Chain A
Amino acid sequence: MRTSFNGSRSEPGAVAYSRATVDLASRDVRFEDVPCRNLEDVLGGFGRSFQILAERTVTHAYTPENPLIINTGVLTASNVTTGLRTYFSAYSPLKASDKGLPAAMWSAGSCKFGPKLKWTGLDEVILEGRADAPVYLVIRHSEAGPQIAFEPAGDLVGLTCHQKIMWLKERYTDAHFAAIGPAGEHYEDCYMASVALSTENQLRSGDDKCRWAGRGGMGAVMGYKRVLAIVAQAPDKIAKLKPEIRDINKAVTSGPGSRKFREKEKGGLGGTWSNYEPLEKFHFVPQNNFRPTGDGKPELMFRDNVQPNFVVKAESCFRCGISCHKNVYEKNEDGTRGTFLAKFDYEPVNLLSTNLGIHDPRKAATLIALVDRLGMDNISLGTTISYVMDYNSRHPDAPILNGATFGDFEKARELVEGAGTGRFPEVGRGVKRLSQSLGETGYAMHCKGLEFPAYQPDTNPGYPWAIAGGHMSMATYMAVALEGNTSLDYWATLITTRGLLFVRDDLLGLCKFAGVTGDHAVEALKQEAGIEVTTAEMLAAVRRAFVRALWLERRQGYERAEYTLPSEVFDRPNANLGVPPFVTREFFSDLSDRVWAVFDPEIDQMANGMKA
């Protein structure tokens, strides 16, 4: 990123970012510095990529016209802690309107691939078209500027994400890697394929410890393009740490915002896995396809109950002092750490164990590791498998697929394997398509084609307005547990104000769960990028980016009726939940009116601006 301010340090036009456009068919590569049009362009991430997607007409995810945009945020590779994000954006094969048009989507992943990409001299790479044979791309730093080479990927075909990364590691020093797994190679049958990003720990230990751009099938788009992996090779370019940034980092890593993710002995609460305990107080932990039973079984997956039989080690991304990765290892007889099993976060643990009626941490670890090896989004896959089990429980005389029902680990494993290798396309294409083909959509847990994360829809009428995943792009998923407020005023305000601002860090390049404050973000922009904006200006840009995403959904055919919840939320209230059911049809209809009354004029304004 290059700046040429002349006076004011807030003028977007004085900022240019470095882009490479790669035509995969012709192998032409074009490098250019692109002047920013607005603050969203400056901040980066989906704030920029969605403007590029808005310029395209794409009617199917698997067409050469659908670009895969790999970019960073303005603070990626900076000295700000958690400034490690890489974003993958495209029209999604998974998230699609009822008209069949693909929706714009982004997914973010951490660790060192993003910084390495930036240190090659690029802020953004756009993959156009489709290669004629499997390739991997090598993006290198050179004295003359960034270079991009195509390499044949025949040796990578069929390898897991981890195997691809380790194969590349043997051949490229001082590099980090993005790779798809077998699921991405079977893109036609698996729309939920993810992109794995290598970690320092993985390259050092040889353990399968990738980070993930998981949501929305960005790995499937990469697979369609026949790009099996990307190498970002550059020396580290870590600038001298300024005292202002050191103070921000100290506040982030030792302040209240990151306590949830730190270990108990470091003044923390033990990571997202520990969401089990407070949620179970209300019986909000999804069980058996988001139908909590109140039988206390979720307790079997509480960290305190799992830990005695394993070794749980807190590990971290590159230069991050929070250590939010809770990696589970075998415990040797002498109590020492044995073989690495899996990383336990709340989402994969719940959606691949408790929500499938499986209450065994070793089985959960097996499924999580298998999903990772094959390269799929554990949220979409877990939620689709729970639907299969639910369907089969309701139709014992006419089960589908392998007849899996709740609690059947072996059949769950078979479904995971089949989804990732193309044998079970009914699963790999997601729960919306599967439920529509079966004619039973009422308990298919998704909105707009994207499966729910591990938070009950009965407690989150904000899901429909999430633009890129229910717990990544709308901060309403814990609101009932946090405040217990079920009033219409509260929900309308939450969705249209604070809830949407959750996507701020999906522009900036930071980890949204680290709790970087608004003031710190603005100071970091000033110190690390030389850009001076107010908090209000930054948040206005975030809001515009969010509204642009809603406008893009509308342009891709989404109608108001699609902004809803699975019908069983309204028609079959669950008395086991620790709050009285409040998401009735009447409530939701009134809420929709209130929310659209706010968003509609902004979307119209955005549409007029795009036409101009």
Chain B
Amino acid sequence: MPRIRFTNLFAERIGGVNSVDVQGATVESSLHALTDRHPDLTPLVWAKDGALNSVMVLFLNDRQLGAREIGTSVGPGDEIDIVPALEGG
């Protein structure tokens, strides 16, 4: 079961939780599992056309994923980070 970790931007919408374990065979299906469980996160994760939100960046086990790698397979113990490319000032 992969774990999805995220920043306070996400956590503050779901009671302060900063990571969620989900069922998913790929990064993409894991993210769908996340937003199925926590619909409040949907606008952060997904664009209106169903693609990944263009300002979000994905990491799988500390490696940044390219835009076309959202279909990468994941398994138990894998860590997916979703972080905004916009922060700070």
Contact = CB atoms under 8 A, between A and B. Distances in A.
A278 interface: yes
B8 A260 contact: no
Given A260-B84, A267-B59, A482-B84, A272 B89 contact: yes
A453 B8 CA distance: 22
Interface string B36-62: 000000011001100001110101001
B82 A256 contact: yes
A269 B83 contact: yes
Interface stretch (B10-18, B25-33, B66-74): B10-18
Given A482-B55, A518-B16, A472 B89 contact: yes
Interface string A468-497: 000110000110011111000000000000
Interface residues of B, number: 31
A274 interface: yes
Interface residues of A, number: 41
A310 interface: no
Given A256-B82, A278-B55, A481-B55, A517 B8 contact: yes
A82 to B, nearest CB: 12
Given A260-B83, A518-B16, A453 B43 contact: no
Q: Is the interface of A mostly helix, strand, loop or mixed?
A: helix
Nearest to A513: B88
B11 to A, nearest CB: 6
A272 B88 contact: yes
Contacts of B63: 267
B64 A267 contact: yes
Interface in A491-516: 498, 501, 513, 515
Among the interface residues B5, B55, B82, which one has the most CB atoms of the partner chain A within 10 A? B55
Interface string B77-89: 0000111111111
A271 B6 CA distance: 17
B7 A515 contact: yes
A256 B88 contact: no
A260 B85 contact: yes
Nearest to A469: B89
Interface in A250-290: 255-257, 259-261, 264, 267, 269, 271-272, 274-275, 277-279, 281
Contacts of A271: 88
B9 interface: yes
A515 B54 contact: no
Interface of B: 5-9, 11-13, 16, 18, 43-44, 47-48, 53-55, 57, 59, 62-64, 81-89
Given A267-B59, A484-B48, 12 more contacts: A256-B7, A256-B81, A259-B57, A267-B64, A269-B83, A278-B86, A347-B89, A454-B89, A482-B55, A498-B12, A498-B13, A518-B11
13 contacts: A256-B81, A256-B82, A257-B8, A278-B85, A279-B86, A472-B89, A478-B87, A483-B44, A501-B12, A515-B7, A517-B8, A518-B8, A535-B16
Ranked nearest first, the 9 interchain pairs of A and B with the lowest CB-CB distance are A272-B88, A260-B87, A471-B89, A256-B81, A278-B85, A513-B88, A483-B43, A278-B55, A518-B16
